[in-house]
Structure 1
Amino acid sequence: MTYSIQFDLGKERTMITKKIMYLWITLAVGMFCMYACDQNETDADNDGIADKQDNCVYIANPDQKDMDNDGFGDVCDNCPATTFLRFPDQRDSDGDGIGDLCDNCINTKNEDQSDMNHDGIGDACTQAADLHHYRLLAKASPDECYYGMGESNIYDPEDFDAEACVSSGGKPKFNDGYIWGMTKIANHIYFGTYANAVCTNFDNAHPFDTTDIWVCERFKEDNVNPVVNSDFRPPSIHVYNTDTGHAKRLAVNEADIPILNITLGLRSAANHKGVVFLAGPSLKANKINVFAFNAETGEPLGAKVLPYNNIRKWLVVKDTLYCGVSSIQTGGAVLKWTGSMDDPFKFEIVGRHFAGGASYMCFHEGRIFVNTWPFPDMENMTRDLLLKDSKKGIEASIWMSPVIDDELDSSQADQWEKVWSVYDYDPDWLCAFMSAGGPLVSYKGWLYWSTMHIKNQAQFYLLAKGMVMCKADREYTPKGAYRATAIFRGRNFDQPLTKTIELLYGEESLDVYTAAEGWKKVSNKMDSANRKPKYGHSGFGNWANNYMWTMAVYKGKLYLGTMDDLGADLYCFPNSDSEARPVNLLGLGNMANFGIRNMVSDDEYLYMGTANHYNLSTYTAEELLWVNPELEYFMNTDNLSGLNAAGGWELIRLEAE
C-alpha cells in the first residue's frame, strides 16, 4: 500500500518567519567597530598572523592548518580531528595529552585509549558501565524507498518491501527517528514518534543536505503543500508488550486520521486511570493534537485539538494527572486532567503566565516544579533577539506551585512562584535568553535540573549582534556563544534563609560579549560559595553534550541521558554525595543514536527511547567508518565489531546489577 497524505491547513501558516530589521545607525556603528578594533594588533609567535586572527597564538603556524575547522590550529589542538563536534574546547582534565572532547576517560589518565567493549568508555574507568546490561527491544523499520534528492520517492509505512526497493535502484529510508513521547503502564509501553526531526526543525538554519547516511530534502518542487516541509511525515503510535516481547503499531479512529496527518510529532505521553495520552504540536498554528487510547486494549478513544502551541511532559501527583503546555497568548500553563475514559479530553488550568512554555515537571517538597522553555512564540524569536528588554520574564526558569494538600484547582492558577532563572547563572543575557529548561527530578531530598542549548545558537547570536562585532569577535562567536548542558540541584525553595542551589556541572566563568570589550570570560552569576562547579565542566566535560534530554530514578540511582552528535551519553549519580559516572558513551550500542530522548523505569528495568537522524543509514559502525573515515579520530577502531550505526528509533532496556 502506498500512502498519499492529504493536508487541510486552510489559511494557517506555520513556517518560522525570520524577518530581521536592522537600523541604519546599527550598520554605521558596525562598520566603525570593524575598522577601529582591528587596528594595532600584535603577533606573539611572529608567524605573520595577527593574534586576533591566529588560530594558534603562541606557536608559530603560518599555514594555519586546522584539520577539523574548529578554530584551533592543529599544532596546538589536543583533539585535532573532531570534525563532528562543531564547537570543541581544549580542556584536558586528566592531563594525559588527550582533550576531553576525544578522551574516552576524561578524569583518569589513559594515553592508549583502550576500550575493549567499545562502549565509548575507556577501560581505565569502566566500573559503572560493567554493572549494566542492555537489550534492544524494538526498532524502527524503513518505511520509504529513496531514489534521490527531489525524486518521487515511495513512502509506505505499513507494507514497505526493502528488497524490492533495493532491486529497483532505491535505498531504504528510516523516516521515524525519534521516540518522542513514551509512557509505561503495567506490561505495556506506549510511545509516539517524530519523523525527520533535524530536517523539519529550524528550516532556514540548515542547508539542503544529502549524504550517504542522511538526507533533508526541504521544500522540493513536487511538495504536497508548500506550507509543509518536504521531509514531514506523520508520526506513528506503537505499543510494546514487555511480557511477550512484541511491538505493534496502533491506529487512530478513521475520523481522526486528518488530525494525525497534520501532527508534527508526538512529543508527549502519559497514562492515568486506564487512559493513555499521546500529544504533540500541530502543523496548524497555535494548536496541539491530543490522542487518547484505552490502556488495556490499545483501542483509540478519539482525538482533540486544543488551543496551545506545544505540550511536553505530564505528571501524576496524589492520583491526579497534570500536563505542561505553552501558548502565545497566555505563556506557559499547567493543566489538570478532569476527564474520564468516557470523556477523556477535559482539562482545567491550575497554573499559568509562566511566560516561557511549561516543559519538564516533577513533584518535590510537596509542590510541583516546572522548568520552562523561553520561546512561547518561536515565530518571533529572531525579532526578540534584537530587543534587549524582551529578555525580561521569558527566559528559561523554574516555577513552584502552592503546597498540594489534595490537588490543585483553578483558584491557585496565579499563585505559582518563580524560584530560579537561567539569568541566575549565565552572565551573557543573549546566551541565557536562548537557553532552555531541561529535565528535573526529585532525588534524595534535592531537586536536580539541567539546561538545554541548540547547536546553532551562534547563528542567532550573530543575527542579533554580528553587525557591530569586529572580525575577530565574529569568528570567535561559534565558541563564545556555545553552551553545553549545565546541571544544578537545589532544596528548601520555600525557605529564603536556607534555600540552597548548587552547580554540579557547569562553568565558573563563561564567555560574554560586549561592544566595548568584545568576548571575555566573566564569572557566572551564582553566589560566591556555589560559583565553582562541584564535580566538573558542562556536559560532563564533553562539549558536545548540548542537551540533557531526560532523567529518571532507577534502583536508587539517578540516570541522565544526553544529546551527543556521535552517540548519546548515559550517566548515573550513584547517590547524592558522588559525581556522575559514565554508563555508556556511544549511543547504547548504536552510535547513530545521538540522543536518549525518554526514560521510564519500574522495579526491574530502565527503558529508554532514542533519537536518531541517520535516516539513510543501514550500516554497522565498521561500514560507517569506511563511508566516513574521519570518524577514525573518535574511537579505538580496533574494537568496532558488533557496534551498530543504523537509522531509526530504538527502544532499549537496561538492567543494573
Structure 2
Amino acid sequence: MEFIETVTNGRLTDKDRAAMPEVLRRFRSGNLRQAPGDNFIDSLINIVGPYFYKVLPLYMNLVFNRTLPDMADTGTMKVDTIYAAPVDEIFYGIGDQRNHYEPYGLSDATIDQGLNAGGRVKHNQSYLWGMTVADNKVYWCTNTNYLCVGGSAGLGAASRPGSDTSKGYMNNSWVCECESGIYGQTVHGAIKPEYAQYSDTRIPRIYCYDITTGSVQDITPSGGDYDKLLQDCQGLRSAGYHNGVAFFGGPSLYGSTSGQTVGSSFFAYDTDAGKFIGCKALTDIDGNAITDIRRWYVHNGVLYCGVRITDANGKDRGAVLRWYGDKTNPWQFKIVGWMANEAAELCVYNGYMYVGGWNTASLAVSTVVKGPKVPDNGLQPVDINATEWPIIWKYSDYDAHAIALRTTYTAGMQVWKNHLYWGTFNAVYVIPNIAAANRYTDMTSPEALCFYLGSVRQTSFWRLNTRDKVELLYGETELPVWDKPTTGKDTWTMKSTGWTPKFGRAGFGQPWTAYTWTMAEYGGDLFIGTMNAETLLKAVSVNPDSTQSQFAILQRLTGRKTGHEGFELLRMQDPETAPQYITTDGFGNGTAYGIRNLAVLDKRLFIGSASPLNLERHGGWHLFRLDDKKYSGIETPETPALGVFWRSNGGSFTFASATGENLNTISLTDLQGRTFKTVGIAQPSVTVNAGDIPSNIFIATVTTASGRWTFKIKR
C-alpha cells in the first residue's frame, strides 16, 4: 500500500484506499476478471495496474535484497579535519548586488552581519579536485560551484528537467546564478558578454599544508597569464609531483560544458623554492591539443599523466603523456600511448601500463586498455599513427542498457596485493535531463517511473589478475534494459549480465552509491572512497517546488533513513574477504557526498572530499587526516595541530587563525634569529607589512591562546 501511495503521489481518494485491499487481493491471486457490479474496482485496477506490472518489478530490483558491508573496528583510528572550504560569500538572492565573493573567506563578524541582514552562508569551493604529496607537504587544488559549470547546461540543471535555467535557479541546498550573477557579468562578461553565463565559476584555489608546522598556505598564483588561465578554467582537476615540480591542471571553461571541453590549463610549482615556475594551455603537444586531464602517475622515476586530446587530425581520443622536463623548462611532454577513450586512470601492474577510460566521440563506452610492457627507461614517444592500446575490458561486456553505456565511466584504479582493482562512475544525475528529452517529466506516470528506476545504476567494482582474468567483486547478475531503442516498445526486460559478483550487489550494496572515486593502499590495506548520490537526491526532494516532485517520489521510494547521506570510506584487508565500512555518512557530514582523493604521507592517510551543496552550512570540500595507530605505530611523532593559515600579498603577509580564535602575537625573524618585527594583536586575522624586512627568507612565529606555530616563509 505504501508503494501505491508513493507512486500515485496523493491521487488516491479515501474511497480508493478503502478498495485497495480487494485490488491487492486480486493482484496476488492473479484473478483480475471483473465481477458483476464491480465497475469501481475494475476501473481502479486499470489505474494502478501499470504500477504493479511495470514499476513494481523495477522498484524491487533496485531496493530489495541488498546486503551492506560490515562496519570496521575503528577503535585505533583518529580522524581530524585539517582544513575546509571557507565561507567565502553571503548570498542574498539570485542576481542580488550584495552577493560579494571573497576567495580567502569571510570573518566571523562579517558572516554574522550578513546573516542578520537576511543572507545565507555560501561555500563557492566544491571539490578538493586534485591532491599530491611531496616531502612533508600536502598540495591540493579545487573547483567551484561544480553543479553550475557550463551555466544553464550544468549538471545541477538536471534538478529542473525541461525548465529554462538560464536566469538561475536554486533549492534549499545549492544555487546556480547562471547569467544573472554579478560575478559573471563583471568578470567573465568582461571578456565576452555571452560568458556571463559562467557566473558561478570562480578562480580555483591551490593550497599547501605543511605537516611539520601545522600551517596551511594559499599558494594560488596571480597576475598576467596566471589570471588569464585560471579564469578560463572549470577548476583544477588533477595534481602530480616529481623531481621538485608539482603540476596542477584542469579543463578550460570558455566554450566548454561539464562534459565537453575545448582546452586546458596547467600550472607548474617549484616545491623547493616555494614559487610557481609558469603556466601553459598545452595546446600543442606535437600538434595535438590537451582538452582534459585527470591523473598523474610515477613509475620507476618517470612521471606520466592521462589526458583527453583533440589530435592533429581533429579526432577526440585519449593519450598517455610522459614528462621530459625539469624546473627550467617544465613543459616538455611527449605522447607515449594512444587509446580511443580519454585516459582517466592509469597505473603499472605486472610490468604493463593499464589505463581506465572515459567515453569520447571515438568510443562511446568506457574501457580498460593494456599498454606495452614498460621498459626500464620508461615508455617511449610514439607518433599519431601508432596503434591504439588494446581493450581488455569494456562496460558493455556487463550492461546492455543504452543509457547506462552513455553515462558510465571507468574510475578509481589501484594495484593491491597482486591484483589490479577498478570501479565505475555511474552518472545518475544526468538521468533527469535524458528523461526530459524523452518526454518523461511527469513522475506520476508509470512510464516515467520506469525510466528512472530502470536507468539508475550503482558503481560496480572489478579486479584482474596477472593473466588478465577479470573478476566482478560488486555488481549485478541481471540488469533492467530499456527495449525501446531496439524494439520501439516502451517496456523493460531484465537481462543477464553474464557475471556473478564475489561479494555483493553493485554500489557495495547501496542503491545510490554511484562512484568508486579513488583508492589508496595504507598500512598494507586497500582504502576505497565513494560518492553517494543520495545526498543530491535528498537536497532536491525537500523543496516544495512542483518541478522537483519526481525527486521527492524517488527519495520516498528508495531513500535510506535520514542521517545516512554522505560518502562512504571502506577498507579491504584481505583479497578474499569483503571490505568493511570506516564511515557511511561522510564522517558525520551528510552534505559531503564524495571522496575525490586519497594520499599517504608520514604514515597517515589524507582524504580530500567533495560537496557542491554551496548553501549548506557544512558544504564545500574538506581535507581530513586519518591516523590509525595500528599502521603508524606509537613511535610516530604527532604532527602539529592545524593552527595558522597564511598567504602572501606581495610586500605583506596575511595571517589567520585556522580555528577562529584570536591571534596573540606574530614575530618575524631572520635565519640567524634576529627579530625584525613583532606585532601584538587580539583578533582572528591580521596583515603584516614585510616590505621593510631586508631578508628574503625569514621565520614567522604565531601564538594564540591554544598554541604556538613556527614556519619558514620565502618572499
TM-score (norm 2): 0.67
Distance 1:268 1:612 in 2: 17
Q: Within the alignment, does 1:490 sit opposite 2:438 as a pair?
A: no
5 Å-filtered alignment, 1:461-610, equals 461-462=434-435, 472-492=446-466, 498-515=467-484, 516=487, 518-524=491-497, 526=498, 531-564=499-532, 565=535, 566-602=565-601, 604-610=603-609
SS in 1 for 2:620: coil
Matched residue, 2:367: 397
Distance 1:568 1:130 in 2: 20
Matched residue, 2:688: none
Distance 2:439 2:64 in 1: 27
Alignment equivalent of 1:418, drawn from 391, 412, 415: 391
Q: Displacement of 1:250 after TM fit?
A: 0.6
Matched residue, 2:158: 205
Distance 1:464 1:209 in 2: 20
Alignment check: 8 A CA contact 2:86 2:105 kept: no
Letter in 1 for 2:348: F
Matched residue, 1:261: 231
Alignment equivalent of 2:27, drawn from 33, 36, 44: 44
Alignment check: 8 A CA contact 1:457 1:481 kept: no
Distance 1:602 1:55 in 2: 56
Letter in 2 for 1:218: C
Letter in 1 for 2:242: H
SS in 2 for 1:89: helix
Distance 1:417 1:297 in 2: 42
SS in 1 for 2:513: coil
Matched residue, 2:620: 648
Distance 1:335 1:49 in 2: 63
What is the identity percentage for the equivalent residue pairs of Structure 1 and Structure 2?
29
> 208-217 or 283-292: which moved more?
208-217
From the superposition, tell whether residues 503 and 485 of structure 1 become closer, same or farther in structure 2 (CA, over 3 Å).
same
Distance 2:177 2:105 in 1: 23
Letter in 2 for 1:173: K
Q: Displacement of 1:453 after TM fit?
A: 1.2
Distance 1:502 1:416 in 2: 21
Alignment check: 8 A CA contact 1:361 1:439 kept: no
Q: Within the alignment, does 1:174 sit opposite 2:157 as a pair?
A: no
Distance 2:50 2:128 in 1: 40
TM-score (norm 1): 0.73
Matched residue, 2:548: none
Q: Displacement of 1:205 after TM fit?
A: 2.7
Q: Displacement of 1:261 after TM fit?
A: 1.4
Matched residue, 1:458: 431
More strand by proportion, 1 or 2?
2
From the superposition, tell whether residues 273 and 489 of structure 1 become closer, same or farther in structure 2 (CA, over 3 Å).
same
Alignment check: 8 A CA contact 1:556 1:575 kept: no
From the superposition, tell whether residues 71 and 146 of structure 1 become closer, same or farther in structure 2 (CA, over 3 Å).
farther
Alignment check: 8 A CA contact 1:554 1:603 kept: no
Alignment check: 8 A CA contact 1:51 1:57 kept: no
Alignment equivalent of 1:188, drawn from 130, 134, 137: 137
Distance 2:594 2:301 in 1: 31
SS in 2 for 1:546: strand
From the superposition, tell whether residues 127 and 609 of structure 1 become closer, same or farther in structure 2 (CA, over 3 Å).
closer
SS in 2 for 1:588: coil
CA RMSD for the aligned pairs? Answer: 2.8
Alignment check: 8 A CA contact 1:266 1:281 kept: yes
5 Å-filtered alignment, 1:377-388, equals none
Distance 1:283 1:511 in 2: 36
> 221-230 or 47-56: which moved more?
47-56
Cα offsets for 1:397-431 (capped at 9, x unmatched): 01111001121112385352211111111122331
5 Å-filtered alignment, 1:132-147, equals 132-147=77-92
Q: Within the alignment, does 1:321 sit opposite 2:274 as a pair?
A: no
Distance 2:120 2:302 in 1: 47
Matched residue, 1:346: 332
From the superposition, tell whether residues 133 and 159 of structure 1 become closer, same or farther in structure 2 (CA, over 3 Å).
closer
Q: Within the alignment, does 1:364 sit opposite 2:353 as a pair?
A: no
Distance 1:547 1:324 in 2: 19
From the superposition, tell whether residues 56 and 512 of structure 1 become closer, same or farther in structure 2 (CA, over 3 Å).
closer
Alignment check: 8 A CA contact 1:562 1:595 kept: yes
Q: Displacement of 1:463 after TM fit?
A: 6.1
From the superposition, tell whether residues 472 and 647 of structure 1 become closer, same or farther in structure 2 (CA, over 3 Å).
closer
Distance 2:325 2:171 in 1: 47
Q: Displacement of 1:198 after TM fit?
A: 1.5
Distance 2:47 2:345 in 1: 41
From the superposition, tell whether residues 55 and 594 of structure 1 become closer, same or farther in structure 2 (CA, over 3 Å).
farther
> 145-154 or 215-224: which moved more?
215-224
Matched residue, 2:16: none
Distance 2:366 2:147 in 1: 22
Matched residue, 1:57: 52
Letter in 1 for 2:52: V
SS in 2 for 1:205: helix
Q: Within the alignment, does 1:160 sit opposite 2:106 as a pair?
A: yes
SS in 1 for 2:428: coil
Alignment equivalent of 2:71, drawn from 126, 130, 133: 126
Letter in 1 for 2:27: A
Distance 2:208 2:110 in 1: 28
Matched residue, 2:277: 301
> 603-612 or 156-165: which moved more?
156-165
From the superposition, tell whether residues 309 and 415 of structure 1 become closer, same or farther in structure 2 (CA, over 3 Å).
closer
Distance 1:77 1:205 in 2: 21
Letter in 2 for 1:278: F
SS in 2 for 1:167: helix
Q: Displacement of 1:214 after TM fit?
A: 2.6
Q: Displacement of 1:581 after TM fit?
A: 0.8
> 537-546 or 473-482: which moved more?
473-482
Distance 1:520 1:127 in 2: 38
Q: Within the alignment, does 1:355 sit opposite 2:317 as a pair?
A: no
Unaligned runs of 5+ in 1: 1-41, 59-69, 79-87, 95-105, 108-124, 377-391, 493-497, 619-645
Alignment check: 8 A CA contact 2:407 2:426 kept: yes
Letter in 1 for 2:395: V
Distance 1:343 1:454 in 2: 38
Unaligned runs of 5+ in 2: 1-24, 33-40, 161-167, 256-261, 283-288, 536-564, 631-715
- Number of matched pairs: 512
SS in 2 for 1:402: strand
Alignment check: 8 A CA contact 1:43 1:51 kept: no
Matched residue, 2:266: 290
Letter in 2 for 1:502: E
Distance 2:291 2:607 in 1: 26
Alignment check: 8 A CA contact 1:53 1:472 kept: no
Letter in 1 for 2:342: G
Q: Displacement of 1:654 after TM fit?
A: 0.9
Q: Displacement of 1:510 after TM fit?
A: 0.4
Q: Displacement of 1:171 after TM fit?
A: 2.8
Q: Within the alignment, does 1:431 sit opposite 2:404 as a pair?
A: yes
Distance 1:357 1:472 in 2: 37
Q: Within the alignment, does 1:217 sit opposite 2:169 as a pair?
A: no
Cα offsets for 1:225-272 (capped at 9, x unmatched): 232422111100100111112111013152211211111101110000
SS in 2 for 1:414: coil
Letter in 2 for 1:599: L
Alignment check: 8 A CA contact 1:609 1:649 kept: yes
Alignment check: 8 A CA contact 1:457 1:482 kept: no
Letter in 1 for 2:595: I
Alignment check: 8 A CA contact 1:43 1:49 kept: no
SS in 1 for 2:603: coil
